[in-house]
Amino acid sequence: MARFNRRDFLKTTGTFIASAALLGKTSACGDDDGGGTEPAGTYTFPQGVASGDPRTTSVVLWTRVVRTAAATGPIDLRVEVATDAGFASVVVNMMVQATEASDNTVRVLVTGLSAATAYHYRFTAGSDSIAGRTRSAPARDADVPVHLAWVSCQDYEAGTYLAYRQLLADDDARPEAEKIQFVVHMGDFIYETRGQEFSRALDENFQPITVMNPDGSQRVMPPYPSNAGATSAQTLADYRHIYRTYLSDPDLRAARARWPFIHTWDDHEFSNDCWQSQANYEEQATLDEGRQTRKYAGNQAWFEYVPSQLTGAEGVTGVPNQAKDFTPTTVVDAMFTAPNADNFTPEPNNVAAVGSLTLYRSHRFGRHVELVVTDDRSYRSDHAIPEDLSSTQPGVFFDPRNALPLQMVNIFDAGKTANGGNPPAEVGGFPNSRRESPAGTMLGKPQREWFKESMKRSDATWKLWASPVPIMRMRIQKEGLELLGTDRVMSGDAWDGWPTERNELLTYFRTENIKNVVAIAGDLHAHYAGVLMDNYDAASPSPVGVELVAAGVSSNSELSFFESATRGLGEPVHQIIVFDASSTGGSPQTENLNVALLKGTRAAVTFAQSKNLTTALAVADPNANAHIKYCDTNAQGYGIMSVTATGVTATLVTINRPISPTATGIKRTAKFTIPKDNPAGMTGPEFTGTKPVPFT
């Protein structure tokens, strides 16, 4: 049997490599140096097992093991991989070791696997073991359908993980040929906060409630090891503590044991609305001071708890892989320096913290799917509108990141390239503080060029872009509510806040004839479906792809956020988000934000005033966001997708609000069909269950 190769062991990260190709199918007799005589119960696997980054001949296996007694020192583990659940046909039998250096986590890259094959695996310490299953990707030229799910935003304190329970139950009912093969996690796997107002679980009336776990305990994040009174993680011990807590959830553990996951991250793996190693909304007086040590700690904890193959990952043919495993280094917190020509801060500790791990990469699944995964946080420039402006002008900016003036964002983001290289000195009565800055970037130059080449060179039928944050424009019109002053973008933290680079990339799809682009995203805690246009400000934009955004697993909905943010602004603003229609037989929490986005602000104001949807639709503006075909802003759930040679079928699933440990069931589904070579031909939604406003 294969024995532990110390050259393959990275002590600081708990990483091992095992090859099935060297063994073929063997009996499970095992090595002489494994096992152990300790009685059952000596060891436990409190965070379960997981697998990740499935490729044609490899997959990464993961677990965390601890002693039940108060003892320290390395723990010997046997890892076995078999083609059957009974482990009669074992292809890997290997000893590895869990150490405190990686918080007792281990990750095993298993190579030499057969394509499109289901595998069972287990870890054994002494007499204790835990098992999971996974599968390899189909060969790159295999003409086979691909079935996947994607999820995001699983704030532990905001709700239970019913979404995973439902996803598992639905998959059990599917025929074998239609079962989910892998899950893409779009980020916010953890939230770095505890006890924060935005994380409080809310009921259907947007009132704070207490959520309980299935075992009867209150669902709260325990105090951080570094500071029991802190509300955000500061140290490696804190971030590890968060992952351990999140992975105590049985539904999340069950999903990770069932499917291989492919992960990217968003902001909460480090800090809310972060960019590079900068943590926003913390100690506002010292925003120029980076949080390099926190970014570095977040990177290390992510790598320890998220199974992924980065170094050596196979990408698009002809495009060099840039992904890189976590590499220990030394960083300190330091003041940021001026950005370079690509709007990246070259301060050495920022460079070291961000560069300690590189996760953008691509995955191939047969002839028809290239999944290109981007990192939308680590290399992005600062937000277009500075905090010292948005936080001191409450009459103009309702929130530093949301409902921002569209024209101001566009011009500020363009920096010195605005207006053909002649940027205005002021915009909307405010000094243009970005007029000497480079244009904003979401991806940073190295990733941007890698992304372009990957999308261009891939010969897969469909190019799936896994972008943690939404790409489509989401505009709130001023027409009908003049006190808004100007058209606004829903979120300045998504791609709407970086329109210059968005235009560059989407135009690149058109000019390079890159077809069949389907973007999947998360972040906004709402479901969306729509068409990607090369330039949303153009008189006649061209469709270049489609986008599907999945709501959060448990995080409070986008509607609840805007309901809270506008509650003190008076009825004209608040009512375009939500209003009480119970007097006419409607809902006391009518989801008017859907109407504002799909039909225009005037229609939303009319709906709130008349309580009559027909009256509201009579004044609808077909150009409000003509590219958006669907939104469900009061939702939790996930997306599922099937990809074939001729088309894509995707379904956005809204679950019943996950605020009870016994909650079950689906509230609605919305299905979309995307034909090959025709993004504008996307059809849907086709509903099951209760339709959302304005589709009722």
**In this structure, what is the dihedral angle of CA atoms 556, 558, 561, 563, given to the nearest 10 degrees?**
-120
Q: Please give the Cα distance from 647 to 369 (Å, whole number).
A: 11
pLDDT tens profile 272-293:
999 999 987 654 434 556 799 9
Lowest pLDDT segment from 128-132, 249-253, 338-342, 390-394:
390-394
Q: 123-132, 477-486, 529-538: which has the minimum mean pLDDT?
A: 477-486
Q: Is residue 100 part of a domain?
A: yes
Mean pLDDT to the nearest integer, 356-368? 98
Q: Tell me, what's the pLDDT at 21?
A: 64
Tell me the C-alpha distance between 284 and 271, whole Å.
14
Distance CA 577, CA 563 (A): 6
At residue 32, the pLDDT reads 45
Does the pLDDT value for residue 143 go beyond 60? yes
The pLDDT score that the predictor gives to residue 31 is 47
Residue 163 lies in a domain: no
Tokens of 81: 């991989």
The SS3 assignment for 147 reads: strand
Q: How confident is the model at residue 6 (pLDDT cuts 50, 70, 90)?
A: very low
**CATH number of the CATH domain containing 97:** 2.60.40.380
Per-residue pLDDT at 513: 98
With cut-offs at 50, 70 and 90, classify the pLDDT of residue 22.
Answer: low
Question: In this model, does residue 135 exceed pLDDT 70?
Answer: yes
Mean pLDDT for 551-557 is 97
Kindly state whether residue 423 falls inside one of the protein's structural domains.
no
Rg (Cα) of the chain, in Å, rounded? 25
**Summary mean pLDDT of the chain:** 93
Contacts of 116 (CB under 8 A, 6+ apart): 135, 136, 137, 138, 139, 142, 144
Domain count, the chain: 1
What pLDDT score was predicted for residue 197? 83
Q: Of the ranges 152-161, 547-556, 568-577, 597-606, which one carries the lowest mean pLDDT score? A: 568-577
Range in 31-40, 253-262, 528-537 with the lowest mean pLDDT:
31-40
Asked if residue 35 has pLDDT above 60, the reply is no
Top pLDDT among 71 and 189 is at: 189
Q: pLDDT band at residue 571, thresholds of 50, 70 and 90?
A: confident
- pLDDT tens across 171-215, in order? 999 999 999 999 999 999 999 999 888 889 999 899 999 999 988
Which tens digit of pLDDT belongs to each residue from 222-239? Answer: 999 999 999 999 999 999
Alpha-helix runs per DSSP H in 549-674 = 558-566, 571-574, 592-599, 601-610, 613-617
15's enclosing H/E stretch is strand 15-19
Asked whether 516 and 463 are in contact (CB, 8 A), the reply is: yes
pLDDT of residue 283: 45
Residue 339 resides in a domain: no
What pLDDT does residue 405 have? 95
Q: What's the whole-number mean pLDDT along residues 478-485?
A: 90
Res 570: pLDDT: 79
Query: 2 falls in which pLDDT band (50, 70, 90)?
Result: very low
Q: Look up the domain containing 97 and give its range.
A: 1-136
Q: Is residue 362 included in any domain, yes or no?
A: no
pLDDT at residue 83 greater than cutoff 50: yes
Does the structure show a pLDDT above 70 at 34? no
Instruction: State the pLDDT at residue 586.
Output: 87
Q: What is the pLDDT of residue 398?
A: 78
Interhelix angle for 250-258 vs 162-173, to 10°?
Answer: 40
Report the C-alpha gap between 426 and 38 in whole angstroms: 72
pLDDT at position 682, please? 98
Asked if residue 48 belongs to a domain, the reply is yes
Residue 131 domain-assigned (yes or no): yes
Residue 12 has pLDDT above 80, yes or no: no
Tell me what pLDDT residue 281 has.
62
pLDDT at position 282 is 58
pLDDT in tens, 418-477: 999 999 999 988 999 999 999 999 999 999 999 999 999 999 999 999 999 999 999 999
Q: Calculate mean pLDDT across residues 131-150.
A: 98
Please indicate, yes or no, if residue 28 is contained in any of the structural domains: yes
pLDDT of residue 541: 97
